[in-house]
Amino acid sequence: MSHDPNCLFCKIVQGQIPSRKVYEDDDVLAFHDIHPWAPVHILLIPKLHIASMVDLGPEHAALMGKMTVLAPRLMKELGVTNGFRTLVNTGADGGQEVFHLHMHAIGGPRPWLKG
């Protein structure tokens, strides 16, 4: 599996940086965001280092499908019952801060309001 030794999320996958894990299997890791926008805010990341959505190819379709189907299950398990938001920032102009593909799943009362 491809990893970038300088990538924050690759270090989390490798166990070099701790995280509050919600889910893990051979392909995907999900954990709580350290700067949550809402009562429940998790990140789903592929264990394979993919910098952004721009770098996806047909070979990643099953992985992205898995993440997309997993998000609602995890939000339900975390007690989110009235809807949630999923978000994938892509590239610098898209607001991506960590260049390892990740999906935000954000739930709770009006999670898009930050203050």
* Nearest Cα to Cα of residue 102 among 61, 64, 65: 64
What are the catalytic residues? 102
